[in-house]
């Protein structure tokens, strides 16, 4: 003879709401951290002289792409 007991409880409305809010805050924090990396990278590269950029092998027109890759590419 087989017995089955279902002990899974459905989350209450408040628990689901708190989970949604928590997820939203975590996503916002992740976006903010990525944006901070982008801004910092962009500012630091933009502050370099053309000669310093050339020594690094970076053209000034590549600063946005490099900053984006630093923040958003995995």
CA angle in degrees (0–180, nearest 5) for 40-66-49: 70
Q: How many folded domains does the chain comprise?
A: 1
pTM: 0.75
pLDDT at residue 7, rounded to an integer: 65
Domain encompassing residue 71: 33-74
pLDDT at 5 (0 to 100): 72
- Helix, strand or coil, per DSSP, at residue 63: helix
User: Quick check: is 23 in a domain?
Assistant: no
Evaluate whether residue 26 is within a structural domain: no
Q: Phi first, then psi: give them for residue 31, nearest 5 degrees.
A: -60, -40
User: What letter would DSSP give residue 11?
Assistant: P
Averaged in consecutive runs of 10 residues, what is the pLDDT profile of the chain (74 residues)? 70 90 96 98 97 97 97 89
For residue 27, tell me if it sits in a domain: no
**C-alpha torsion angle, residues 17, 36, 56, 66 (rounded to 10):** 40
Is residue 7 included in any domain, yes or no? no
- The answer to whether residue 28 is domain-embedded is no
């Amino acid at each position: 003879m087989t017995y089955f007991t279902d002990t899974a409880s459905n989350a209450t409305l408040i628990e689901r709401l708190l989970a949604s809010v928590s997820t939203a805050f975590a996503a916002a924090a992740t976006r903010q951290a990525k944006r901070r990396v982008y801004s910092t990278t962009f500012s630091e590269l933009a502050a370099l002289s053309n000669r310093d950029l050339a020594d690094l092998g970076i053209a000034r027109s590549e600063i946005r792409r490099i900053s984006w890759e630093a923040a958003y590419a995995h």
